[in-house]
Structure 1
Amino acid sequence: MGVILRWPLLATALVCAASVTVTGLVSGFSRAFMMGGPGVSTPPVLGHPLMSLAESVVFVAWIFVLTWKVPPRVAWVCVAALLLVSAHAQYFRLSYLYYRTDTVQMALLAGAVAAGAGVVLRMRDRSRAALAAAAEERARRDERLDMARELHDVVAHHVTGMLVQAQAALVVAEQDKDKACELLPGIVDGGTDALGAMRAMVRTLRDNGAATATGDLTSDLQQLVEKSGLPVRTSIELTEDVRPELGRSVLRLVQEALTNARKHAHDATNVEVDVRLTSAAVLLSVVDNGTTRPAHSGGFGLVGMRERVHELGGRFFAGATGEGWLVTAELPLEVRA
């Protein structure tokens, strides 16, 4: 048995031994051990009511501490011993105010109240610990989801570009090798960008998740459109700077929408990107005229975008328009509590 379990038993044994000793000194050890015999004269100090009150306080307080802090198996053994010794003391000691049965009942009632209070506090502490553990688990889950979204949004964007260009190179290689070779630098650039994105993500994780947000959203969006390889028309109206974290989310949403268009809307001849700032939110939309998009791609792009928008307290929609595919989001400038 460990030290943590031994000290409550030792302390309880000490309290019980002291109480039995006082009972013997007050009423006679023969009576205290239920062997019969003449009584004794009560020592003035031990028989004083304040001493009895102090002893009762010790019993009640120790029962309270046991049921609150000590492991249940040990606690209830100690509490049972304390209640028996307390009832023994009240029964064999002479009282001029109450009958013996009354004092025994009052002692047991006080011990039961103390034990109940300790159990209540124990349950409260367990509830708080459970809530703290649940909150920690939610934080870890949110962190994993954020990492998954970043991995999908950043790396998948570049890898998709490489894949599209490699497929195009395979198609034209049989007829025009020179034209196929012209696509190789784009594949190399895509791989370089993907590697850079991975390194940036690793740096972010090593810096305790302090992800670098965009500093110039308009410029970042223009660069993103230029590298997309799609026939994109842009309309960006950002009259003032937005929070870096919000700008980063806008950039990731547009990036993922363009990635989806490049992967699934193979016949698209026009993609329109619209980003504008209002007094309360950033509004963005990405729409294409592709009609060959599959009903379900099996990826996590739309799920990640929806989660990102909802975390910011915004609204999100993605779906077919009859003439293509539309992704739109409204991101509030200030996150609502």
Structure 2
Amino acid sequence: MVAVFTATGLISGFTRAFLDDGPGVTPPLLLLTPVVRITEAGVVMALAFLLAWKAPPLRAAVGIAALAVVSLHAGVVRTHFYLDWVQTAELVLVLGLVTAGSGVLLRLRDRSRAELAAAAQDRARRDERLDMARELHDVVAHHVTGMLVQAQAAVVVAERDKSKACELLPGIVGGGTDALGAMRAMVRTLRDNGAATATGDLTADLRQLVEKSGLPVRTSIELAGDVRPELGRSVLRLVQEALTNVRKHAHGATEVEVDVRLTATAVLLSVVDDGRTGPVHAGGFGLVGMRERVDELGGRFFAGATGEGWLVTAELPLEVRS
């Protein structure tokens, strides 16, 4: 700041003190030429603009104040043919305010852009965390729930017949293996920045999911055409979570119907059971995650009791709605 102040002072007014022969003596004519005056005014304005734009606030304030002092000094003590010293001081102040104000506006613009970029990064990280949370709930919790149900059944059966309980152990081991495989697949997807697709053949994946559910499921799958990978993954996860909810909350369910069909504009799916539902159906994050998936794709979602069981339906458009 000392260097800036000194250099500016030499340009704007201190040269008079150094170069004058004595008090009241007119400075060299070179310093009075319009070219020199316009040049030094431009340099001062550029310095003030850069300080207001780029310098830290305290340094900018001190630097601009220094520039204002030396500029007012030069404007008052120099001889002018068209303006008196009051008009000169007013002109200096107006130009200074315009210049410094322009720098402040650019500083605010840069700060606003940085804040918007930071907010966008925060939203991206939040969306990633939500996506990971849904994947953990939909994929891993599905397998863990199956293991838990079978383990609970084994405990009950073991009181009467230990050999029957042992027959349930392979299913528990298989559930643990599937859970580990799902975790590894999700880690691979995250390492690939989500590039991996969840399903290549949606019909086959849905049938495999139903077979592994261990529920009395009756399926109707009509997918004559191809479905884009991200939409197919959402369909698979919605059906998976609906079956998980049936296994956890639909007490005494004897039949589950899974219907997935493709229309000209959307994929329609429904999962309905005839079990008794309790208040636990309102807890957890399963329904929240399903609704979020459908909302992100611009679709419609419903989940609720039917009087004879529980119904989950969704309409997922083939094209993302703007």
> Is residue 13–residue 74 contact of structure 2 (8 Å, CA) maintained in 1?
yes
Tell me, yes or no, if structure 1 residue 168 matches structure 2 residue 153.
Answer: yes
TM-score normalised per structure 1:
0.91
Q: Which residue of 1 aligns with 2:141?
A: 156
Deviates more, 1:84-93 or 1:162-171: 162-171
The CA distance in 2 between the partners of 1:23 and 1:324, in whole Å, is 96
Matches within 5 A, 1:57-72: 57-72=42-57
The CA distance in 2 between the partners of 1:244 and 1:125, in whole Å, is 39
Q: Which residue of 2 aligns with 1:224?
A: 209
Corresponding residue SS for 2:31: coil
Q: Which residue of 2 aligns with 1:236?
A: 221
> Is residue 23–residue 29 contact of structure 1 (8 Å, CA) maintained in 2?
no
Q: Deviations over 1:29-75 (max 9, x none)?
A: 76xxxxxx3323x4232210121111111111111111111111100
Q: Which residue of 2 aligns with 1:309?
A: 294
- Give the letter aligned to residue 130 of structure 2: L
Deviates more, 1:179-188 or 1:257-266: 179-188
The CA distance in 1 between the partners of 2:17 and 2:54, in whole Å, is 31
Q: Indicate how the Cα distance of structure 1 residues 307 and 327 shifts in structure 2: closer, same or farther if over 3 A, else same.
A: same
> Is residue 49–residue 102 contact of structure 2 (8 Å, CA) maintained in 1?
yes
1:14 to 7, 24, 45: 7
Matches within 5 A, 1:293-332: 293-332=278-317
The CA distance in 1 between the partners of 2:280 and 2:161, in whole Å, is 34
> Is residue 250–residue 276 contact of structure 2 (8 Å, CA) maintained in 1?
yes
Q: Deviations over 1:259-296 (max 9, x none)?
A: 00000102111111111111111111111111233254
Tell me, yes or no, if structure 1 residue 208 matches structure 2 residue 201.
Answer: no
Q: Which residue of 2 aligns with 1:194?
A: 179
Tell me, yes or no, if structure 1 residue 273 matches structure 2 residue 258.
Answer: yes
* RMSD over equivalenced CA pairs, Å: 1.6
Tell me, yes or no, if structure 1 residue 38 matches structure 2 residue 38.
Answer: no
- Give the letter aligned to residue 259 of structure 2: D
Query: Tell me, which stretches of 5 or more residues in structure 2 are unaligned?
Result: none
Q: Deviations over 1:86-144 (max 9, x none)?
A: 01101111111111111111011100111111111111111111111011001001101
Corresponding residue SS for 1:164: helix
Shift of 1:154: 0.5
Corresponding residue SS for 2:32: coil
Shift of 1:211: 3.8
- Give the letter aligned to residue 21 of structure 1: F
> Is residue 277–residue 310 contact of structure 2 (8 Å, CA) maintained in 1?
no
The CA distance in 2 between the partners of 1:12 and 1:280, in whole Å, is 70
- Give the letter aligned to residue 234 of structure 1: T
> Is residue 274–residue 286 contact of structure 1 (8 Å, CA) maintained in 2?
yes
2:17 to 14, 24, 44: 24
Deviates more, 1:174-183 or 1:9-18: 9-18
> Is residue 209–residue 240 contact of structure 2 (8 Å, CA) maintained in 1?
yes
Corresponding residue SS for 1:114: helix
Deviates more, 1:124-133 or 1:168-177: 168-177
Q: Percent identity?
A: 70
> Is residue 259–residue 270 contact of structure 2 (8 Å, CA) maintained in 1?
yes
Q: Indicate how the Cα distance of structure 1 residues 215 and 9 shifts in structure 2: closer, same or farther if over 3 A, else same.
A: farther
The CA distance in 2 between the partners of 1:173 and 1:9, in whole Å, is 88
The CA distance in 1 between the partners of 2:275 and 2:238, in whole Å, is 19
Corresponding residue SS for 2:290: helix
Q: Which residue of 2 aligns with 1:34?
A: none
> Is residue 25–residue 43 contact of structure 1 (8 Å, CA) maintained in 2?
no
The CA distance in 2 between the partners of 1:82 and 1:229, in whole Å, is 81
Corresponding residue SS for 1:129: helix
Q: Indicate how the Cα distance of structure 1 residues 295 and 165 shifts in structure 2: closer, same or farther if over 3 A, else same.
A: closer
Deviates more, 1:118-127 or 1:12-21: 12-21
Q: Indicate how the Cα distance of structure 1 residues 312 and 237 shifts in structure 2: closer, same or farther if over 3 A, else same.
A: same
Corresponding residue SS for 2:260: strand
Q: Deviations over 1:209-238 (max 9, x none)?
A: 334320000000000000001111111111
Equivalences, count: 322
Tell me, yes or no, if structure 1 residue 262 matches structure 2 residue 279.
Answer: no
Deviates more, 1:214-223 or 1:162-171: 162-171
Moved over 6 A (4+): none
Tell me, yes or no, if structure 1 residue 145 matches structure 2 residue 130.
Answer: yes
> Is residue 249–residue 281 contact of structure 2 (8 Å, CA) maintained in 1?
no
- Give the letter aligned to residue 242 of structure 1: V
> Is residue 157–residue 259 contact of structure 1 (8 Å, CA) maintained in 2?
yes
Q: Indicate how the Cα distance of structure 1 residues 38 and 173 shifts in structure 2: closer, same or farther if over 3 A, else same.
A: closer
- Give the letter aligned to residue 25 of structure 2: G
Q: Which residue of 1 aligns with 2:113?
A: 128
